[in-house]
Structure 1
C-alpha cells in the first residue's frame, strides 16, 4: 500500500508542502515588522492579496524567473482592477493613460519611481520582455471600458487572448522560453482562463447590477439580465453556464494536448491550469449553479495540488 494512502502519509505530504511554501513565503513575502518593504515585496503582496491562485503558482517558478513574473502579475492586477474599482470612466482612462506612459518610460530606461514600474524595468532588462504584450493588455482593458458586453463566446475568448494570454507570453519570456508550441499552449490557456474568469465573476457582477454573459447565449437559453441580477438558479441558467464552461474545458484540453511539443522548461508557466481545472470540477459538482455559495470558498487543497503538479513537472 502506498504511503500516501494512509493518514500518516498524507500528513507527511502536507508537512513537506507547508515547509516548501512557508520557506518561499518567508523569503519572498515576509519581512520583519518595522523593516521597509522592498519594491519586490510590494509587488508580491499585491499578487498575494488580489490574485491568490496565480500567487501560489508564481511562488513555484524557478528562482531566476520568479521576481520578473511577480512584477508582471502585479502589473496585470493593477490594470485589471481599473474597471471594477473606478466608477468614473474619465478617471479610469487617466489610469490607463498613466500605464501607457509608464510603459513607454520603462522601455526608454526611465521608469517612474513606483514599485511595479521599477520592478518591471528590471524584468524587461534582464529577460528582454516584449513591449507588445504589455501594450496589448493595456489596449484590451481600455477597449473594455467602452464596450463591456460580449455578443458571443468568441468575443470572450478574444478578450482572454489579449489579456490573459499576453500575460502568459510574458511569463514564458521570464522563463527565457521562446517557443511556438509553448505560445500555442499559452494562447489556449489564456482563452480558457478568460472564460472561467467570466463565469466566476457572475455573482460579483450581478450584485452590482451588471451582466456580462454572452448576449447570444442568454437569448438562446432564455435567460434575461434581470434574472441573472436576481441570482437565477433555474435549469435554463445552469444550461447556459454549462455551455460556457464546456468551451473553457475544451480550451484547457487543447492546451494540454500540446504538452508533448512544449519544452519542459516552459511547464512551470502552465501551473495556473491547476486552479482553473479545480474550478471547473467544482462547478460541475455544483451542477453548474454559478450562485452556489460553495464556489466562493477558497480551495484549501489548491496549494498541495499545484505543488504536486510542479513536483511531477507536468501540466
Structure 2
C-alpha cells in the first residue's frame, strides 16, 4: 500500500511511547503482521496522548486547546510534517488506510469529558463514551488490518470497546477518586444508594461497593456479548481485539482485591503474555 513505509518516520519513538503508556496494547500490536504494526502503534500512541491530557495539563481550558491542536492536525491536508512523531505517524496512517477523520473527531470530542469533574450522567452516556473512545479505536485498528472484513464486526467492536473501557475505568478508580472524578454513572450510583459526591469522597461505604459490583457486572455483560460474536472473528482481525484477552482476568482480579476503590488490580507480565498468546493462536473459540 502506498505510503505504508512512511507511516512512522520515528517508529522507535512511537513504539516506546505505546510501550510506556499502554503496555497491553503494545503487546497486542506485536501479534499484528509486520507491515501493519507501525500503523497500529500510531493509533495506540494517539489514543495514549489524548487519554493522558489531563495528567499532563491540569487545567481544563489548556487541555481543550491541546485537543483542538489534534483536531487541526488531523483535519489538515498535505504532507507537511508537524514535528511531532505521533502526529506525523497518525496522519500518514489515516492517509495510507483511508481512515475516517470523523471517528477521530468524535474521539477527541468524547475526551473533553476527561478534563472536567462533571459526573457521568447515566449508563447510556457511559456506553456512548466507551463507543467513541475504546470501541472506535478497535474498529480503526480493524480497518487497518482488514478493511473488507472490518465493517462486518462493528457491533462486536462496540461490545468489545464497552467491556474494555469499563474495565479500564474500574482499574483507574483510585486515580479518578483522588482527583475528584467519577466515571461511575449517576443512575448506577443512585440504584446502589449513593451519589457521585459521596463516591468520590469515600463516604459511600457499602453503597459504593455495590456500585463497583454493578460496574463489574456491566463490563461482564458487554464482555459476554463480545465473546459470543468474537467466535466468528477472522484471523486477520484478531490483533485489533487482542487486548480483550486480558479483560476477564482483570475483572476477576478486581473482584478479589481488598478494595478496588483504593487498590488497582494488576496482572503479572507472564500472565498477560500467556493470555495474549493463547487468544492470538486460537481466538475466542469456546473452550
Query: How high is the TM-score relative to the length of structure 2?
Result: 0.87
Q: For residues 43 and 299 of structure 1, do their structure 2 counterparts lie closer, same or farther at Cα, with a shift above 3 Å needed?
A: same
Equivalenced residues, count: 277
Work out which of the residue numbers 156, 160, 167 in structure 2 matches 1:185. 156
Q: For residues 284 and 254 of structure 1, do their structure 2 counterparts lie closer, same or farther at Cα, with a shift above 3 Å needed?
A: same
- Structure 2 unaligned spans of 5+: 1-7
Q: For residues 206 and 299 of structure 1, do their structure 2 counterparts lie closer, same or farther at Cα, with a shift above 3 Å needed?
A: farther
Match in the other structure for 2:282 = 312
User: Using the alignment, how far apart are the partners of 1:175 and 1:148 within structure 2?
Assistant: 37
Q: Deviations over 1:237-287 (max 9, x none)?
A: 222111111111111111121134433311221111112111111122338
**Does residue 1:170 correspond to 2:143, yes or no?**
no
Counterparts of residues 1-315 of structure 1 (less than 5 Å): 39-105=10-76, 107-142=77-112, 144-145=114-115, 148-178=118-148, 179-225=150-196, 227-231=198-202, 234-286=205-257, 289-291=259-261, 293=263, 295-296=265-266, 298=268, 300-314=270-284
Q: CA deviation at 1:103?
A: 0.4
Q: CA deviation at 1:184?
A: 1.3
- Structure 1 unaligned spans of 5+: 1-36
Q: CA deviation at 1:177?
A: 3.0
Alignment check: 8 A CA contact 1:182 1:263 kept: no
Q: For residues 83 and 210 of structure 1, do their structure 2 counterparts lie closer, same or farther at Cα, with a shift above 3 Å needed?
A: same
Structure number with greater Rg is: 1
- Relative contact order: is structure 1 or structure 2 higher (C-alpha 8 Å, sep ≥ 6)? 2
User: Using the alignment, how far apart are the partners of 2:214 and 2:200 within structure 1?
Assistant: 19
CA RMSD of aligned residues (A): 2.4
Q: CA deviation at 1:69?
A: 0.2
Alignment check: 8 A CA contact 2:188 2:211 kept: yes
| Most deviating of 62-71 and 172-181 | 172-181
User: Using the alignment, how far apart are the partners of 1:130 and 1:73 within structure 2?
Assistant: 16
User: Using the alignment, how far apart are the partners of 2:174 and 2:262 within structure 1?
Assistant: 9
Task: List, as ranges, runs of 4+ consecutive aligned residues in structure 1 with deviation greater than 6 Å.
Answer: none
Query: How high is the TM-score relative to the length of structure 1?
Result: 0.79
Q: For residues 200 and 270 of structure 1, do their structure 2 counterparts lie closer, same or farther at Cα, with a shift above 3 Å needed?
A: same
